[in-house]
Amino acid sequence: MITKIAARASVAFILVVLVLLLLHPIPVDSQSNLQQQQLSKVIEDVLKAESAGAGPEEMGKLVAGLNSVLNLENQLQNLTPQDSNQQSQLLSQITSTLASVDAEAHQIETVASHRTFTNHVATYSLGAFAAFLATVIFHYVLLLRRRNRVKRVLRMKIIAK
């Protein structure tokens, strides 16, 4: 019984909030503030992808995405207050572009960090293998030298003067 009442109350609360939001749309300024925060977060994620080891091509894609957001923002700033339809269209386009750049940055970060880890493991393993190989070569060179020296000693002739 109590859970039913609680569920009804929460549904009613959500409806009231929705109606209030519809009656008082969020002003463009606060929307741009939200976008500013979103942009800041996306920049942070792109930089994380770069420090994880994203290559120039991958970074190029992300940078192109971010610059397209700047173009959209420029278009938005040039609109008159009368173009509210176009404004909301551009705002949603900016939000979706930022979201797709962010998702791509996350994906690139995962791939790049895996690649960097593999490269590190491979490089350190190569170092260990090179050390082993150099030791073996050194050992056999010494062995060969000793054998040659023994051969030379065995071939020596004693000549009486």
Partner 1 sequence: MKRNLRTLRRLLPLFLTLLILFETAAYIAMNPRPQARFFEFYVLSANGSAGDYYPNNSPFIQTDQLVAWYLAVTNRMGSMQFIDIRVRLANQTLTTPNDTTLSPSSAPVVAEFKQFIQNNQTWEIPFAWQVLNFTTTQGYSRILQLQIGNVTYSTQNAPTCSSLSSCSFRFIFELWTWNLGSSEFQFAWWNGNEQQIAWLQLWFNLTPGVP
CA dist., res. 92 & res. 22, Å (int): 17
Residue 121 binds to partner 1 (criterion: CB under 8 A): no
Which of 66, 93, 113, 115 touches partner 1 (CB under 8 A)?
A: 66
Residue 17 binds to partner 1 (criterion: CB under 8 A): no
| Cα–Cα–Cα angle for 19, 21, 24, rounded to 5 degrees | 110
CB of 152 to partner 1, least distance (A): 22
CA dist., res. 46 & res. 64, Å (int): 12
CB of 96 to partner 1, least distance (A): 18
Per-residue mark of binding to partner 1, 21-60 (x: CB under 8 A): ---------------xx--x--xx-xx--xx----x--xx
Which among 19, 22, 46 has a CA at the least distance from the CA of 100? 46
Size of the site for partner 1 (CB under 8 A): 31
Per-residue mark of binding to partner 1, 124-143 (x: CB under 8 A): x-xxx-xxx-xx--xx----
Structure tokens at 161: 């003067």
CA dist., res. 21 & res. 24, Å (int): 5
CA dist., res. 132 & res. 77, Å (int): 64
Residue 110 binds to partner 1 (criterion: CB under 8 A): no
